[in-house]
Amino acid sequence: MEEVTILTIAKRANVSHTTVSRALNDSPLVKEETKRKIRKIADDLGYVPNINAKGLVEKRSFIIGIFFSELDTGTSPSFLVDVINRSKEALPVGYSISIDSIEALDGSNAMSRHQYDGAIVVSQSTNDDAFINMMIERGLPVVILNRKINREDVSNFTTDDYLGARKLMEYAVRMGHQKFGLIKGASDFVSTHDRQQAFLDVTAASGATVKPEWIQQGTYLPDSGYESMRTILGAIDTPTCVFASNDDMAAGAVRACQDLGYSVPDDISIIGYDDMSYAKYLVPRLTTVRKPTDDIVQEGIDALTKLLDGSMTDPIKKVIVPTLIVRDSVKDLRK
Protein backbone atom coordinates (compact mmCIF):
# COMPACT_ATOMS: atom_id res chain seq x y z
CA MET A 1 0.00 0.00 0.00
CA GLU A 2 2.16 2.81 -1.30
CA GLU A 3 1.36 6.23 -0.01
CA VAL A 4 -0.42 8.06 -2.74
CA THR A 5 0.29 11.77 -2.98
CA ILE A 6 -0.61 14.41 -5.48
CA LEU A 7 2.55 13.48 -7.29
CA THR A 8 1.35 9.95 -7.86
CA ILE A 9 -1.79 11.34 -9.34
CA ALA A 10 0.12 13.88 -11.39
CA LYS A 11 2.16 11.18 -13.10
CA ARG A 12 -0.89 9.12 -13.88
CA ALA A 13 -2.73 12.07 -15.30
CA ASN A 14 0.28 13.42 -17.15
CA VAL A 15 0.04 16.79 -15.57
CA SER A 16 2.08 18.57 -12.95
CA HIS A 17 1.32 18.15 -9.27
CA THR A 18 0.35 21.80 -9.26
CA THR A 19 -2.54 21.08 -11.54
CA VAL A 20 -3.57 18.19 -9.35
CA SER A 21 -3.60 20.38 -6.29
CA ARG A 22 -5.67 22.93 -8.11
CA ALA A 23 -8.08 20.40 -9.49
CA LEU A 24 -8.63 18.89 -6.08
CA ASN A 25 -9.27 22.30 -4.61
CA ASP A 26 -11.59 23.25 -7.41
CA SER A 27 -9.50 26.13 -8.61
CA PRO A 28 -10.83 28.04 -11.65
CA LEU A 29 -7.39 27.74 -13.13
CA VAL A 30 -7.96 24.29 -14.54
CA LYS A 31 -10.37 23.12 -17.19
CA GLU A 32 -13.43 21.24 -16.06
CA GLU A 33 -12.46 18.28 -18.15
CA THR A 34 -9.02 18.12 -16.60
CA LYS A 35 -10.51 18.39 -13.16
CA ARG A 36 -12.82 15.51 -13.82
CA LYS A 37 -10.03 13.34 -15.07
CA ILE A 38 -7.82 14.13 -12.10
CA ARG A 39 -10.55 13.60 -9.56
CA LYS A 40 -11.37 10.29 -11.08
CA ILE A 41 -7.80 9.13 -10.75
CA ALA A 42 -7.59 10.43 -7.19
CA ASP A 43 -10.68 8.48 -6.35
CA ASP A 44 -9.44 5.32 -7.97
CA LEU A 45 -6.18 5.56 -6.12
CA GLY A 46 -7.96 6.21 -2.84
CA TYR A 47 -6.07 9.39 -2.40
CA VAL A 48 -6.27 11.02 1.02
CA PRO A 49 -4.67 14.43 1.41
CA ASN A 50 -1.96 14.68 4.00
CA ILE A 51 -3.46 16.94 6.55
CA ASN A 52 -0.13 17.88 8.01
CA ALA A 53 1.26 19.10 4.75
CA LYS A 54 -1.90 20.94 3.99
CA GLY A 55 -2.05 22.42 7.44
CA LEU A 56 1.59 23.39 7.33
CA VAL A 57 1.23 25.55 4.28
CA GLU A 58 -2.21 26.86 5.09
CA LYS A 59 -1.32 27.43 8.70
CA ARG A 60 -4.24 25.47 9.93
CA SER A 61 -4.53 22.47 12.18
CA PHE A 62 -7.98 21.18 11.32
CA ILE A 63 -8.57 20.75 14.97
CA ILE A 64 -11.21 22.63 16.78
CA GLY A 65 -11.15 22.72 20.53
CA ILE A 66 -14.13 22.29 22.75
CA PHE A 67 -13.55 23.68 26.19
CA PHE A 68 -15.55 23.08 29.30
CA SER A 69 -15.09 24.91 32.56
CA GLU A 70 -14.52 21.61 34.28
CA LEU A 71 -14.74 18.10 33.06
CA ASP A 72 -15.07 15.90 36.09
CA THR A 73 -17.46 17.82 38.22
CA GLY A 74 -19.65 20.68 37.10
CA THR A 75 -20.44 19.47 33.63
CA SER A 76 -23.05 16.80 33.29
CA PRO A 77 -22.09 13.88 31.10
CA SER A 78 -25.15 14.04 28.95
CA PHE A 79 -24.54 17.67 28.19
CA LEU A 80 -21.00 16.89 27.26
CA VAL A 81 -21.98 14.04 25.02
CA ASP A 82 -24.57 16.16 23.37
CA VAL A 83 -21.99 18.79 22.58
CA ILE A 84 -19.63 16.23 21.16
CA ASN A 85 -22.26 14.55 19.08
CA ARG A 86 -23.59 17.68 17.53
CA SER A 87 -20.14 18.97 16.91
CA LYS A 88 -19.22 15.87 14.97
CA GLU A 89 -22.33 16.14 12.90
CA ALA A 90 -22.25 19.81 12.22
CA LEU A 91 -18.58 20.42 11.60
CA PRO A 92 -17.22 20.27 8.05
CA VAL A 93 -15.48 17.02 7.25
CA GLY A 94 -11.80 16.83 7.91
CA TYR A 95 -11.97 18.58 11.23
CA SER A 96 -11.17 16.80 14.43
CA ILE A 97 -12.38 17.92 17.77
CA SER A 98 -10.37 18.02 20.90
CA ILE A 99 -12.00 18.18 24.31
CA ASP A 100 -10.39 20.01 27.18
CA SER A 101 -11.19 21.55 30.48
CA ILE A 102 -10.29 25.16 30.99
CA GLU A 103 -9.49 24.55 34.58
CA ALA A 104 -6.87 21.97 33.67
CA LEU A 105 -5.36 24.11 30.96
CA ASP A 106 -5.32 27.34 32.80
CA GLY A 107 -2.16 29.25 33.35
CA SER A 108 -0.08 26.84 31.40
CA ASN A 109 0.65 27.42 27.79
CA ALA A 110 -0.72 23.94 27.28
CA MET A 111 -3.45 25.44 25.24
CA SER A 112 -1.17 26.74 22.63
CA ARG A 113 0.48 23.40 22.22
CA HIS A 114 -2.32 22.44 20.00
CA GLN A 115 -2.96 25.20 17.60
CA TYR A 116 -6.68 25.15 17.24
CA ASP A 117 -8.40 26.54 14.19
CA GLY A 118 -11.34 27.51 16.29
CA ALA A 119 -12.94 26.87 19.60
CA ILE A 120 -16.20 26.34 21.31
CA VAL A 121 -16.18 27.33 24.92
CA VAL A 122 -18.88 25.92 27.10
CA SER A 123 -18.53 28.25 29.96
CA GLN A 124 -20.03 27.94 33.39
CA SER A 125 -18.09 30.45 35.34
CA THR A 126 -16.63 33.93 35.20
CA ASN A 127 -13.36 32.25 36.03
CA ASP A 128 -13.22 31.35 32.38
CA ASP A 129 -13.06 34.96 31.31
CA ALA A 130 -9.31 35.24 31.28
CA PHE A 131 -9.14 32.18 29.10
CA ILE A 132 -11.84 33.44 26.79
CA ASN A 133 -10.28 36.84 26.43
CA MET A 134 -6.94 35.29 25.69
CA MET A 135 -8.45 33.28 22.86
CA ILE A 136 -10.20 36.28 21.40
CA GLU A 137 -7.07 38.41 21.61
CA ARG A 138 -5.23 35.78 19.70
CA GLY A 139 -7.77 36.18 16.98
CA LEU A 140 -8.98 32.64 17.26
CA PRO A 141 -12.47 32.04 15.90
CA VAL A 142 -14.42 31.29 19.00
CA VAL A 143 -18.00 30.85 20.11
CA ILE A 144 -19.12 30.96 23.71
CA LEU A 145 -21.97 28.78 24.85
CA ASN A 146 -24.01 28.51 27.97
CA ARG A 147 -22.99 31.67 29.73
CA LYS A 148 -23.56 35.27 28.78
CA ILE A 149 -20.41 37.12 27.84
CA ASN A 150 -20.06 40.85 28.05
CA ARG A 151 -18.18 41.40 24.86
CA GLU A 152 -19.67 42.66 21.68
CA ASP A 153 -17.19 40.98 19.42
CA VAL A 154 -17.95 37.34 20.08
CA SER A 155 -20.82 35.04 19.23
CA ASN A 156 -22.65 33.85 22.26
CA PHE A 157 -25.49 31.39 22.72
CA THR A 158 -27.08 31.07 26.07
CA THR A 159 -30.19 30.16 27.86
CA ASP A 160 -31.90 32.34 30.40
CA ASP A 161 -31.48 30.54 33.68
CA TYR A 162 -33.06 33.37 35.56
CA LEU A 163 -36.19 33.16 33.46
CA GLY A 164 -36.34 29.39 33.72
CA ALA A 165 -35.96 29.37 37.46
CA ARG A 166 -38.51 32.14 37.67
CA LYS A 167 -41.06 30.15 35.71
CA LEU A 168 -40.43 27.20 37.95
CA MET A 169 -40.70 29.13 41.19
CA GLU A 170 -43.79 30.97 40.04
CA TYR A 171 -45.38 27.66 39.26
CA ALA A 172 -44.62 26.43 42.77
CA VAL A 173 -46.10 29.60 44.20
CA ARG A 174 -49.19 29.14 42.06
CA MET A 175 -49.52 25.69 43.55
CA GLY A 176 -49.85 27.36 46.92
CA HIS A 177 -46.36 27.01 48.34
CA GLN A 178 -45.25 29.69 50.74
CA LYS A 179 -42.28 28.18 52.53
CA PHE A 180 -39.24 27.61 50.33
CA GLY A 181 -35.85 26.05 50.68
CA LEU A 182 -32.96 26.30 48.22
CA ILE A 183 -30.03 24.08 47.48
CA LYS A 184 -27.51 26.17 45.62
CA GLY A 185 -25.19 24.93 42.89
CA ALA A 186 -21.42 25.14 42.56
CA SER A 187 -20.50 28.49 43.96
CA ASP A 188 -18.65 30.16 41.13
CA PHE A 189 -21.04 29.10 38.41
CA VAL A 190 -23.11 31.85 36.93
CA SER A 191 -26.06 29.50 36.56
CA THR A 192 -25.98 29.08 40.32
CA HIS A 193 -26.26 32.79 40.79
CA ASP A 194 -29.06 33.29 38.25
CA ARG A 195 -31.17 30.45 39.58
CA GLN A 196 -30.70 31.68 43.09
CA GLN A 197 -31.61 35.22 42.15
CA ALA A 198 -34.87 34.06 40.59
CA PHE A 199 -35.56 32.10 43.74
CA LEU A 200 -35.02 35.16 45.89
CA ASP A 201 -37.01 37.47 43.64
CA VAL A 202 -40.02 35.20 43.41
CA THR A 203 -40.12 34.35 47.06
CA ALA A 204 -39.76 38.03 47.95
CA ALA A 205 -42.44 39.12 45.51
CA SER A 206 -44.90 36.51 46.72
CA GLY A 207 -44.22 37.15 50.36
CA ALA A 208 -43.08 33.58 50.90
CA THR A 209 -41.07 32.53 53.92
CA VAL A 210 -37.42 31.63 53.44
CA LYS A 211 -35.44 30.86 56.54
CA PRO A 212 -31.65 31.04 56.39
CA GLU A 213 -31.31 27.42 57.49
CA TRP A 214 -33.37 26.42 54.47
CA ILE A 215 -30.73 27.72 52.12
CA GLN A 216 -27.84 25.34 51.64
CA GLN A 217 -24.76 25.39 49.53
CA GLY A 218 -24.40 22.46 47.15
CA THR A 219 -22.00 21.54 44.36
CA TYR A 220 -24.35 20.41 41.58
CA LEU A 221 -23.45 16.83 42.44
CA PRO A 222 -26.08 14.39 43.73
CA ASP A 223 -24.39 13.80 47.07
CA SER A 224 -24.43 17.47 47.92
CA GLY A 225 -28.16 17.49 47.25
CA TYR A 226 -28.54 14.61 49.63
CA GLU A 227 -26.55 16.23 52.42
CA SER A 228 -28.10 19.64 51.97
CA MET A 229 -31.55 18.17 52.16
CA ARG A 230 -30.74 16.35 55.35
CA THR A 231 -29.59 19.60 56.86
CA ILE A 232 -32.76 21.36 55.79
CA LEU A 233 -34.92 18.61 57.21
CA GLY A 234 -32.99 18.87 60.44
CA ALA A 235 -34.39 22.35 61.09
CA ILE A 236 -37.18 22.74 63.62
CA ASP A 237 -39.53 24.00 60.99
CA THR A 238 -39.31 22.75 57.38
CA PRO A 239 -40.20 24.33 54.03
CA THR A 240 -43.00 22.89 51.89
CA CYS A 241 -40.96 23.13 48.72
CA VAL A 242 -37.24 22.92 48.04
CA PHE A 243 -35.63 24.14 44.85
CA ALA A 244 -32.55 22.08 44.07
CA SER A 245 -30.52 24.05 41.53
CA ASN A 246 -30.15 21.09 39.24
CA ASP A 247 -31.70 17.68 38.73
CA ASP A 248 -28.72 15.79 40.05
CA MET A 249 -29.02 17.46 43.41
CA ALA A 250 -32.80 17.13 43.27
CA ALA A 251 -32.36 13.38 42.95
CA GLY A 252 -30.16 13.39 46.03
CA ALA A 253 -32.65 15.55 47.87
CA VAL A 254 -35.54 13.22 47.09
CA ARG A 255 -33.45 10.36 48.37
CA ALA A 256 -32.76 12.22 51.62
CA CYS A 257 -36.45 12.87 52.16
CA GLN A 258 -37.22 9.21 51.66
CA ASP A 259 -34.47 8.18 54.04
CA LEU A 260 -35.80 10.46 56.74
CA GLY A 261 -39.35 9.28 56.30
CA TYR A 262 -40.69 12.25 54.36
CA SER A 263 -42.82 11.55 51.34
CA VAL A 264 -42.25 13.55 48.16
CA PRO A 265 -44.42 15.38 47.25
CA ASP A 266 -46.92 14.72 50.00
CA ASP A 267 -44.78 15.96 52.86
CA ILE A 268 -42.40 18.08 50.88
CA SER A 269 -42.14 19.17 47.26
CA ILE A 270 -38.88 19.16 45.33
CA ILE A 271 -38.10 20.96 42.10
CA GLY A 272 -35.00 20.69 39.98
CA TYR A 273 -33.46 22.23 36.90
CA ASP A 274 -32.09 20.94 33.55
CA ASP A 275 -34.48 18.12 32.75
CA MET A 276 -31.85 15.46 32.61
CA SER A 277 -32.87 12.33 30.81
CA TYR A 278 -33.54 10.41 34.01
CA ALA A 279 -35.70 13.17 35.53
CA LYS A 280 -38.84 11.51 34.37
CA TYR A 281 -37.86 8.21 35.89
CA LEU A 282 -37.31 9.45 39.38
CA VAL A 283 -40.04 8.74 41.90
CA PRO A 284 -41.88 11.00 41.91
CA ARG A 285 -41.28 12.26 38.42
CA LEU A 286 -39.37 15.47 38.76
CA THR A 287 -40.90 18.84 38.00
CA THR A 288 -38.09 20.81 36.44
CA VAL A 289 -37.04 23.15 33.64
CA ARG A 290 -35.79 21.96 30.33
CA LYS A 291 -32.53 23.59 29.43
CA PRO A 292 -32.38 23.84 25.62
CA THR A 293 -28.95 22.30 25.32
CA ASP A 294 -29.47 20.88 21.87
CA ASP A 295 -30.36 24.20 20.40
CA ILE A 296 -27.54 26.02 22.08
CA VAL A 297 -25.02 23.56 20.78
CA GLN A 298 -26.42 23.40 17.29
CA GLU A 299 -26.45 27.14 16.88
CA GLY A 300 -23.03 27.40 18.38
CA ILE A 301 -21.50 25.00 15.94
CA ASP A 302 -23.25 26.63 13.04
CA ALA A 303 -21.81 29.94 14.07
CA LEU A 304 -18.34 28.53 14.42
CA THR A 305 -18.57 26.96 11.00
CA LYS A 306 -19.42 30.32 9.53
CA LEU A 307 -16.55 31.89 11.40
CA LEU A 308 -14.24 29.26 10.02
CA ASP A 309 -15.21 29.72 6.40
CA GLY A 310 -15.32 33.47 6.72
CA SER A 311 -19.00 33.84 6.02
CA MET A 312 -19.75 35.31 9.39
CA THR A 313 -20.42 39.01 9.22
CA ASP A 314 -21.40 40.11 12.69
CA PRO A 315 -21.17 38.13 15.90
CA ILE A 316 -24.43 36.45 16.82
CA LYS A 317 -25.94 36.72 20.25
CA LYS A 318 -28.88 34.55 21.10
CA VAL A 319 -30.72 33.63 24.22
CA ILE A 320 -32.79 30.50 23.97
CA VAL A 321 -35.72 30.26 26.32
CA PRO A 322 -36.08 27.34 28.71
CA THR A 323 -39.33 25.45 29.18
CA LEU A 324 -41.10 24.58 32.37
CA ILE A 325 -41.68 20.85 32.68
CA VAL A 326 -44.46 20.05 35.11
CA ARG A 327 -44.43 16.53 36.50
CA ASP A 328 -45.30 15.09 39.89
CA SER A 329 -42.83 16.35 42.46
CA VAL A 330 -44.82 19.41 43.48
CA LYS A 331 -47.92 19.05 45.61
CA ASP A 332 -50.92 21.20 44.90
CA LEU A 333 -51.49 22.90 48.23
CA ARG A 334 -54.59 24.83 47.18
CA LYS A 335 -57.12 22.06 47.42
Partner DNA sequence: TTGTTAAAGGAAAGCGCTTACTAATGTGTC
Partner DNA sequence: GACACATTAGTAAGCGCTTTCCTTTAACAA
What residue ranges bind its own copies (CB under 8 A)? 1, 46, 48, 50-53, 55-56, 61, 63, 71-72, 77-78, 80-81, 84-85, 88, 93-94, 96-101, 104, 109-110, 112-115, 138, 222, 226, 248, 251-252, 254-255, 258, 277-278, 280-283, 285
Which parts of this chain interact with DNA (CB under 7 A)? 3, 5-7, 14-19, 21-22, 24-25, 28-31, 34, 47, 49-50, 53-54, 56-59
As a whole number of angstroms, the distance between CA 264 and CA 179 comes to: 15
Q: Which does 6 bind (CB under 5 to 8 A by kind): DNA, its own copies, none?
A: DNA
Residue 194 burial class via C-beta count within 10 angstroms: exposed 0-12, middle 13-18, buried 19 and up: buried
CB of 3 to DNA, least distance (A): 5
As a whole number of angstroms, the distance between CA 304 and CA 117 comes to: 10
Q: Which does 61 bind (CB under 5 to 8 A by kind): DNA, its own copies, none?
A: its own copies
319 Cβ neighbours under 8 A, 6+ residues apart? 148, 157, 158, 159, 160
Q: Which does 105 bind (CB under 5 to 8 A by kind): DNA, its own copies, none?
A: none
CB atoms within 10 A of CB 1: 4
CB of 23 to DNA, least distance (A): 8
First to last CA, the chain: 77
Nearest to 221 by CA among 99, 73, 82, 121: 73
Residue closer to DNA (CB basis): 24 or 71: 24
Residue closer to DNA (CB basis): 57 or 236: 57
Residue closer to its own copies (CB basis): 160 or 295: 295
Number of residues in the chain: 335
CB of 129 to its own copies, least distance (A): 20
- Tell me if 177 sits within 8 A of 240, measured CB to CB: yes
As a whole number of angstroms, the distance between CA 236 and CA 48 comes to: 71
CB of 77 to its own copies, least distance (A): 4
Q: Which does 21 bind (CB under 5 to 8 A by kind): DNA, its own copies, none?
A: DNA
